[in-house]
Amino acid sequence: MKKFALFIVLAIFVFTGCKKDSVDATSLKAFQNSINDMASGLTTIQQIKFSEALYVLKTFGVDAEGDTNELTALSKLIAGKKVPEIFAMADHVAQKSGISWSSTGPPSLGEMNIFGDMEAKERDPNDIEANGLSIITKPVSNDSILGPKALQVVPRLTDASGNPISFEGAMLETNMEVSSNGIVLSNSKNLMQDNNFRGFTIRYASLPSEKLIDNKIDITVSVKTKEKTLKMSKIGVPVNPKALLQPQINTPVQAPSTTPATDPTVTENPTNNPATGAEVPATGGDPKNTVQKFLNNISSQNLKGAYDVSENPSWGSYETFSNPTSGFGSVKNLNVKNISTSSTNPTSASVNATYDVTDKNGNTSALKVTFGLKNVNGAWKISSYKIN
């Protein structure tokens, strides 16, 4: 009897001891068995969240086509990982992909099973009765200098009449391709869970300007439901050329003028207007030198020096001018390509400048700016600023 009892104890120990607590990626069968073993030690809610985490990793964490290839890639991705590590990886992938899912949140995707042998349910949340797909685009992230810096793309599932349909609790794989003249510029993937899907955001600074035709892009979105894949394209969507990624040109900033500095309070050789005989103020040299000084100071982060050569009411106070978000404080450096004086008289002048501006996030934009200047006590001051 004691021997029999000992045999029972050993059998229980062997049975429980064989359960795996980490992923076995030696084969797909071993992979599935190890996942089942790991899930068996979790509570019901934890099991659902574990299945959701695996689904997120399978859909967004690996780059493969077809269920078998995706499962193989997933098994290699999480080989040797335990439940907490898999939750952490899924959280990272969800955050990186812009998915509103977290391992600590309530169940939101249903009882997903990556191996495809889901138990019978009354209704599959991905079985959406949709007849079409629409795409809404809207410029966003408006900048006071550059204008819109991004484009929001929102796809909507529609019925036969083209009206948006209502649904919730789904996990529809949604892909977006951005191209121009047949050249693919980017691909993005996300999950559409309901009809309040926020869509995608295209940052103009990620689009290389030299690859765009007429500053327009083509957008193709596909949404995969249980029964079919819906696809829609929007051709020739205009973008803001001022905010596009510009090619890097290693042209050094022009050196400051070597003209000897003069005291702006001293007026040398005043001239008379031949028509009226009235004295006119000295011009203070070439006005483009003031613009060059302004741009050099901006590029070298000497914002006080740049502000001192201006009297532009629209720039307001120095605090507004140097604001790190909406003012020139957001500029990292400038690459000046050309500066020329377009018009000048003793009291006012106009100077055109072409340059690339790079912000502190590394985004580069090409600008063509007309500077208006006025003569203040014999020195040129920037009084207006217009992006062409």
Q: What kind of fold does domain 132-240 have according to CATH? A: Immunoglobulin-like (2.60.40)
Q: How far is CA 27 from CA 15, 34, 52, 258, 307, in A?
A: 21, 10, 22, 74, 67
pLDDT digits (tens, 9 = 90+) for 259-318: 444 444 444 444 444 443 434 445 568 899 999 999 998 988 899 999 999 999 888 888
Average pLDDT value for residue range 12-32: 75
CATH of domain 279-387: 3.10.450.100
Of the candidates 375, 382, 379, 374, the one whose C-alpha atom is nearest the C-alpha of residue 312 is 382
Q: Distance between CA 222 and CA 168 in Å, rounded?
A: 18
Its pTM stands at 0.47
| pLDDT, greater one: 148 or 327 | 148
Report residue 148 as tokens.
């819109």
**Least confident among 87-91, 271-275, 320-324, 343-347:** 271-275
Parts of the chain belonging to CATH 2.60.40.10:
132-240
Q: Report pLDDT for 116.
A: 60
User: Is the predicted pLDDT of residue 6 greater than 70, yes or no?
Assistant: no
Parts of the chain belonging to CATH 3.10.450.100:
279-387
Q: Which of 24-28, 83-87, 384-388 has the highest mean pLDDT?
A: 83-87
| pLDDT, greater one: 17 or 113 | 113
| Mean pLDDT value across the chain | 81
pLDDT digits (tens, 9 = 90+) for 339-372: 999 998 989 999 999 988 888 877 888 888 999 9
